[in-house]
Structure 1
Amino acid sequence: MNIESSGVPDERPSRWVRQRTDGDVDECVRVLAEVHARDGYPVNWPDQPGEWLSRGPLLGSWVAGLEGGLVGHVSLSQGGEGDLAPTLWSERNGATRGMTAVVSRLFVAPQARGHRIGALLIGQAVEEARRRGLYPVLDVVASDAAAAALYERLGWKLMATVEQQWSAHQTVAIRCYAAPS
């Protein structure tokens, strides 16, 4: 049991966020597989999920825990090919794409939901983006209503919903968000 600063017992489970290490990747992949089985995220399961979590120009990756176990993940990167939100934000703000940072690879184990783990992880990524003088943005598949609801509860602003061609046979609707000011 935790004790709040008021001295009153706090029955909430112990939560934490820290920078991801190479040793966390296998556990992250295990959690991601649970999320994929339950929610279909990511839409297309990667051939090498550990590499997928670490791909791109990463600015940082963090993991979250609940009662000692790893239950969530988020990354922050420079916008890459296929990231729509940096371009939209830049066009609307008369800035370059390089002024943004993309929050991505966010997932929380199904059994850990309801403990504000997603909000903690997003907060960490946003804090790092702002520390670097970058504006946080993100893309989410429009069919992921739970993720969109989380971002909107946290004050993220929907910039647009656009169609994106992922392959010759797959077009996906993407919601592009900008962090609250």
Structure 2
Amino acid sequence: MIRTLRTGAKTGLSVDSILSAALMAEMISPSRELWLVSPWITDVRVIDNRHGSFDALFGDVPPSSWRLSDALLWIAGAGSHVYVVTRPDSHNEAFLRRIEGAELDTLLVRRDPDVHEKTLCGQEWLLTGSMNYTVRGMAKNDESVTYKVGGPDAGQARLDLARRWRSGS
């Protein structure tokens, strides 16, 4: 399955439902590796549970919403190796402090001043395009985002990302 969205204020489309579905699927059945690569990242809301639709997933005290850091920490805590690659920019620091503060061995952050790619990739799926994981990227800017499930693209992306950033080079 391949779906391309042109998101933004002008189109009225957003990536919210695709992103939340992909992250909840990861929370239920974590990939061996999950990659988030984006030059700019903020702790955006990624799961809206205000109506209790996902209470069964979250347990006895379900949150009303989850931020990106909450989802990544849950996934890393479930044993997935979560890799976050972003620029060493003050814009990213609050988000990075939150995830690095958890001190999980399964979560690795790389800061690369030259990163410009925007990809979120699990075992069998890939979300890639021009969108940064920020409020502007997800809700205001005109962006093109492609979501692919199945096929070789996710595997190839994970190999390429690992070659570039897993070893810290």
Q: Give the TM-score, by structure 2 length.
A: 0.31
Select the structure with the greater relative contact order (CA < 8 A; seq sep ≥ 6).
2
Greater fraction strand:
1
Return the index of the structure with the highest Cα Rg. Answer: 1
Q: Give the TM-score, by structure 1 length.
A: 0.29
